[in-house]
Amino acid sequence: MVDNRRAATHRVVMTGMGVLSPNGKGVREFWESTVAGRSGIRRIDSFDVDGLPSQIAGQVRGLDPLEFMPNREVKNVSRAVPMVLAAAKEALLNARLNWREIVEDERCEFGVIIGSGGGCIEFTERQYKNFFNNRLRQVSLYNVPSSTMGTLSSELSMAYRLYGPSHVVSTGCTSSTDALGYAFLQLRLGRLKSVLSGGVDATVTPGTMTGFCMMKILSTGWNETPGQASRPFDRERDGFVLGEGAWMFVLERLDHALSRGAPILAEVAGYGSTCEAFHRVRLAESGREPARAMQLAIEDAGAAKDEIGYINLHGTSTQMNDRVETVAAKLCFDRRAYDVPMSSLKSMIGHPQGASGAAGIAAIVQSFQTDTLAPTINYDVFDPDCDLDYVPNTARSKRIDLALGNCLGFGSKSSALVLKRYS
């Protein structure tokens, strides 16, 4: 068995980032809103929610699919496709990569690895609605292939003619953390030179909302004040708020990035993942395996726990998740957990499912760029079970050189990434 850490020969860096978020389109708007503590959570306006106990979500607004694909193709793909195309376009531009000028050999070593939990569920629901209402003429000819997970990476590979591996990682809420982790490993082992990686999900749909309402895990007490609904680690939290979005990155081997004079935003240093094999949706109260995933990522980075200056938490705003994640942080960092600032982006964007991890990584990258930590908004009432420094309500000026992004998922999964300031 090969020890990847021993076999590693290449440093891996991020050279571009693109964002399509409920609280901002584009990196600049996203980060300005985040630092200001502006929520992107609103009443759902894309379908009728009057009969649902939860009527709010973090939706991306103002997206025009025609900016990214021909009109004749829009009906043949999920909403997630133009979303990921938009984020990828910005990431490539920020990385100073003109895809039309990439030579053939380079295209063969340029992969696409995307994380998505819900995949193309929006498209699938749309097609079945036509089927069941006998509107066959409105059914897309591509209703089968465009309903699959793999179409997300394929659409991106085809749009930019990238011939490397084209994969979708779907591990629930940890999907994009794992996608970035796998991209990192491919680059570190020298199998690729560049990867478009990150996460996308567009699951604010009638079926998904109804299903989560049946599970009674969505916030229901803040329909009249949506911006206050997602309140991670606050004692009055009553469930998560569904979200959507796309956060994409250009990852490169350091030698390749330097050879073309690319801007370097951050270095990817370590990845860890575990499964506590406990339950479909519940977390074990011990927090052992989430703590071990964080520990593995730190060890993989060759770092010490004392070097971690910030943690971007999963922080869903459910009673169980926030309590267990707090326990896990204490297990991993011991008493120092009280000294490490940590926050949850979901307080402002909701829970974008499989794209969650990528959203948190985007916040970390921007922290390196601006020496500012994202806040956890709506933190009003102290919970003795959640007693760490969650950067409550107001962004904080602080230079950090090493940060950890943590993610938890259905099916007992835990994954974490360590990023460092490039030097």
Residues 20 and 244: beta-carbon distance below 8 Å: no
Average pLDDT, integer, range 326-353: 98
The 10 Å Cβ neighbour count of residue 18 is 28
Buried residues in 375-384 as b, exposed as e (16+ CB within 10 A): bbbbbeeebe
- What is the topology classification, in CATH, of domain 272-420? Peroxisomal Thiolase; Chain A, domain 1 (3.40.47)
Q: What is the pLDDT, as a whole number, of residue 8? A: 55
pLDDT band at residue 2 under the 50/70/90 scheme:
very low
Residue identified by tokens 């000819």 is 141
Local confidence band at 399 (pLDDT 50, 70, 90 cut-offs):
very high
Query: CA 328, CA 407: separation in Å to the nearest integer?
Result: 11
Using the predicted structure, report yes or no on whether residue 6 has a pLDDT greater than 80. no
List Cα–Cα distances, 196 to 49, 183, 201, 407, in angstroms.
35, 8, 16, 20
| Predicted pLDDT of residue 130 | 84
Q: In DSSP terms, which residues pair with 57 in a beta bridge?
A: 42
Residues 273 and 165: their CA atoms lie apart, in Å, by 22
Domain with CATH 3.40.47.10 in the chain: 13-266, 272-420
Helices 27-36 and 356-370: angle between axes, nearest 10 degrees? 80
Q: Cα(106)–Cα(314) distance, rounded to whole angstroms? A: 35
pTM comes to 0.96
**Tokens 């916040």, residue?**
363
pLDDT score of 4: 47
Beta-strand relationship, 194-202 and 110-115? parallel
How many Å apart are CA 356 and CA 342, to the nearest integer? 15
Per-residue pLDDT, 1: 38
Topology of 13-266 in CATH?
A: Peroxisomal Thiolase; Chain A, domain 1 (3.40.47)
Mean pLDDT of 369-382: 98
| 240 band by pLDDT with thresholds 50, 70 and 90 | very high
For the four alpha carbons of 97, 8, 292 and 305, in that order, the dihedral sign comes to negative
Tokens linked to 349: 């964007």
Summarize the confidence of residues 296-324 as an average pLDDT: 98
Alpha-carbon distance 43 to 14, whole Å?
A: 35
| Contact present, 317 and 347 (Cβ < 8 Å) | yes
Share of the chain above pLDDT 70, in %: 98
End-to-end CA distance of the chain: give it in Å, rounded. 32
Beta strands in 7-118 (DSSP E): 12-21, 24-25, 41-43, 56-58, 110-115
pLDDT of residue 7: 57
pLDDT tens-digit map of 61-106: 999 999 999 999 999 999 999 999 999 999 999 999 998 899 999 9
Mean predicted confidence (pLDDT) in 336-360: 98
> Residue 150 and residue 316: Cα distance in Å, rounded?
27
Active site (catalytic) residues: 173, 314, 351
- Per DSSP bridges, beta strands 310-312 and 342-343 are parallel
Lowest mean pLDDT among 4-8, 54-58, 119-123, 403-407: 4-8
Per-residue pLDDT reduced to its tens digit, 122-178: 999 999 888 888 888 888 888 888 999 999 999 999 999 999 999 999 999 999 999
H helices of 133-239, in order, are 151-160, 175-188, 206-215
